[in-house]
Amino acid sequence: MFFDTPAKGVVDVAVTQAAVCLFDAYFAQAVLGIVVVVLGSADGLFGLGSAVLVVAVAVSSEMQ
């Protein structure tokens, strides 16, 4: 929303990873769901797959 370039997805992922690090595993799962919805509604499917993959890896790391 602040960026209108292909780098926007990278910025969203970086912000999401920072948020995941601030919460425990349970909150991280909620953050993942919210980010998927926001990216899906804001950008359609543009870059969504890679963003979800990176966030899912971050959440998995938090849970272990």
Mean pLDDT across 55-60: 51
Is residue 46 situated within a structural domain? yes
Would residue 20 count as lying in a domain? yes
Residue 35 lies in a domain: yes
Does some domain include residue 34?
yes
> 30 is in which domain, residue-wise?
7-63
Q: Is residue 45 part of a domain?
A: yes
Tens-place pLDDT, residues 24-55: 555 555 555 555 555 544 555 455 455 555 55
| Number of C-beta neighbours around residue 51 at 10 A | 21
Assigned domain for 27 exists? yes
Measured CA distances, 63 to 21, 22, 27 (Å): 11, 13, 10
Q: For residue 1, what pLDDT is reported?
A: 46
Please indicate, yes or no, whether the overall pTM of this predicted structure exceeds 0.85. Answer: no
The reported pLDDT for the residue numbered 30 is 57
Q: In this predicted model, what pLDDT tens digit does every residue of 5-28 receive, in sequence order?
A: 555 555 666 666 666 665 555 555
Domain count across the chain = 1
